[in-house]
Amino acid sequence: MSDPTILSGSSLNTFIECLDQDQLREASVALLFWSKVDKGGECWLWTGYKNGRGSQYGVFHRTKAHRFAWESLFGPIPTGTKILHTCDNTLCVRPAHLTPGTQKENMADMIRKGRSRPHGKRPLTEDQIRAIAIATGRQVDIAKQFGITQAHVSRIKRTPNG
Ligand SMILES: [Zn+2]
């Protein structure tokens, strides 16, 4: 077995038998979480329930999905700490694209990346197009979030690859 983190058959059974009730519950919740994530691209996109005006975030068990992803790997997030997206894709839950910061840093980051300009002229990345294709809610809100027109959102939703 080249990858020791991949367990199967009897080794998986032995692993599960060693867990107590809390650990088992935690493991099954984590499995459920990652089953709702599309890892098809550079960004790992949340495909479960989404919420938020303007920028959309994934929601899982009353927690923002990207915060859940961070906590599942690194432990509880200190009070007042924001988990920021280095990829600028709010539906992304890939831990490698997440970094802790303060609200102040978040604002500075938004301004630097132009997320606060509703009609920025940056072309969409492949990951943003994937995120738009699975985004729920009003198309005008999605359009605002990505700085594109509602017609553009509609076009992406009809042909996600075009
Ligand atoms: Zn990402």
Q: Would you list the DSSP string of 83-111?
A: EEETT--TTB--GGGEEEE-HHHHHHHHH
Compute the distance from residue 91 Cα to the ligand 1 centre, in Å: 8
pLDDT at residue number 161? 57
Cα(157) to ligand 1 centroid in Å equals 20
pTM of the model as a whole = 0.63
Q: What percent of the chain stands above pLDDT 70? A: 81
**How many Cβ atoms from other residues are within 10 Å of residue 37's Cβ?**
20
In a 10 Å sphere around its CB, with 0-12 CB exposed, 13-18 middle and 19+ buried, how is residue 38 labelled?
Answer: middle
**Statement: residue 1 has pLDDT above 50:** no
Cα of 97 vs centre of ligand 1, distance in Å, is: 5
pLDDT confidence of residue 16:
76
Q: Which is it for the CA torsion 25, 26, 31, 37, positive or negative?
A: positive
Residue among 147, 85, 66 nearest 114 (CA): 147
| Biggest alpha carbon–alpha carbon distance for the chain | 56
In the Cβ-directed half-sphere of 61, how many Cα atoms lie within 13 Å?
Answer: 12
- pLDDT confidence bin for 66, thresholds 50/70/90: very high
Q: Give the tokens for residue 159.
A: 């042909």
Centre a 10 Å sphere on the Cβ of residue 125 and count the other Cβ atoms it contains: 15
Tell me how far the alpha carbon of residue 99 lies from the centroid of ligand 1, in angstroms: 11
Distance 86 CA to ligand 1 centre (A): 7
Report CA(45)–ligand 1 centroid distance (Å).
Answer: 8
At 58, the pLDDT band (50, 70, 90 cuts) reads: very high
- Whether the per-residue pLDDT at 127 is higher than 70: the answer is yes
> Does the pLDDT at position 12 exceed 80?
no
Residue 159 alpha carbon to ligand 1 centre in Å = 22
The mean pLDDT value for 46-58 works out to: 87
Q: Would you state the pLDDT for residue 98?
A: 94
